Amino acid sequence: MNKKVFFIPLSASILFFVAYLLLAQTGSFLSVEPGYSINDVSRWCERISGGYFREPSNALSNIGFITTGLIMFWILSRESRGKSRFHGASPTAIIFATAALFLGPGSLLMHGTHTAWGQWADWLSMIMFISIPWLVNIFVIKDYSENIFAKTYVSYITIYALISWNFGNDLGIGLNLWFLSIALWVITEALQHFYSPLLRLLSGFIGFLVAAVFGVFPNEIFANLSEYWWTILFWIPAIFINKKSLMRKTRFRWFWFGMFTYLTAFVIWLQGYPETDFCNPDSIVQAHALWHILSSIATLFFFFYFRSLRLT
């Protein structure tokens, strides 16, 4: 067992909470979003608290991400490298588990502090995680080394972090990188498992099907191309993937478990607004908190799915 693989992220998680609680005692660490005040109902339904966590349930439910991330590290710590990119302390596996765990602190900082930089950390954590699946799929299919993947991923996230800090989550160009990354993931999955020259040509249209699942239909996209211009990027995988993959995932049940859990969480997330019938600002059970918990479980299912990579 490689104890460091587990105890380093465990220690970092504990230190995060210690630092948060210490800083929360200062006058400048916590804030309230513009247009809101203490005791108002937040935009995620929960009533804004004057305590250390502005939205207590929505903030602390992110312990779910930290827990599932630590489970991933625990599993990796008990393995040797070599079976696949997602076994042992391999760069890809460590990056995946780190990003999954960081979803917790990122979101907690937004719901806990109500600061602009907390919102930036939240969105950054989401992009850190959702960028991994489609990048991994491309790098696996092309048989690029893990070191090249790690360098590419770190560079990509660093550039995004810097630009989003200065120009906002859409990078100042109206780019919805979160949704684009989900679409690219599904597209690369299709190309990895069902590649053909025709599918490669048509693969971008899969992105429109993904959009429809989330309630954005092609007629809306084509009627607002200035807003959805980035859908042309659905064809990015087709640029890189030009052959059948020798490596494929074999345990599809984990993919479908993850998708079902995530889509269930998304439906619940839609109810986590003040104007919905399910909003109860003073309840400890918040729809947005349930979204966090179910989404954290989905990340673990997807971890198991990627661990089923095999040479075929």
Local confidence band at 27 (pLDDT 50, 70, 90 cut-offs): confident
The per-residue pLDDT for range 195-244, each reduced to its tens digit, is 999 999 999 999 999 999 999 999 999 999 999 999 999 999 999 999 99
The per-residue pLDDT for range 31-64, each reduced to its tens digit, is 999 999 999 999 999 999 999 999 999 999 999 9
Please check whether residue 62 is in contact with residue 288, taking contact to mean a CB–CB distance below 8 angstroms. no
- In the predicted model, is pLDDT for residue 294 greater than 90? yes
Question: How many Å apart are CA 78 and CA 3, to the nearest integer?
Answer: 8
Mean predicted confidence (pLDDT) in 102-117 = 98
Local confidence band at 67 (pLDDT 50, 70, 90 cut-offs): very high
**Pairwise pLDDT comparison (201 vs 26), residue with the higher score:** 201
Mean pLDDT for the chain overall: 96
- In the predicted model, is pLDDT for residue 187 greater than 90? yes
Mean predicted confidence (pLDDT) in 158-172 = 98
To the nearest 10°, the Cα dihedral for 39, 40, 41, 43?
-130
| Residue 249, H or E segment | strand 247-249
- In the predicted model, is pLDDT for residue 84 greater than 90? no
**Cα-flanking dihedrals φ and ψ of residue 66, to 5°?**
-65, -40
Beta-carbon contacts of residue 74 (< 8 Å; ≥ 6 apart): 6
Percent of the chain with pLDDT over 90: 96
The per-residue pLDDT for range 202-212, each reduced to its tens digit, is 999 999 999 99
Question: How many Å apart are CA 293 and CA 308, to the nearest integer?
Answer: 24
Local confidence band at 29 (pLDDT 50, 70, 90 cut-offs): very high
233 burial level (CB within 10 Å; 0-12, 13-18, 19+): middle
- In the predicted model, is pLDDT for residue 303 greater than 80? yes
Predicted local confidence at residue 82, as pLDDT: 74
172 burial level (CB within 10 Å; 0-12, 13-18, 19+): exposed
Question: How many Å apart are CA 66 and CA 104, to the nearest integer?
Answer: 5
Please check whether residue 43 is in contact with residue 58, taking contact to mean a CB–CB distance below 8 angstroms. no
- Which of 249, 254, 258, 235 minimizes the C-alpha distance to 310? 249
Please name every residue paired with 248 in a beta bridge, in sequence order, or none if there are none: 310
How many C-beta atoms lie closer than 10 Å to residue 86's C-beta? 24
Mean predicted confidence (pLDDT) in 72-89 = 91
Please check whether residue 50 is in contact with residue 38, taking contact to mean a CB–CB distance below 8 angstroms. yes
Please check whether residue 211 is in contact with residue 219, taking contact to mean a CB–CB distance below 8 angstroms. no
CA torsion sign, 264 to 269 to 272 to 276? negative
Distances (CA, A) of 27 to 47, 58, 130: 21, 22, 34
How many C-beta atoms lie closer than 10 Å to residue 142's C-beta? 14
Predicted local confidence at residue 80, as pLDDT: 85
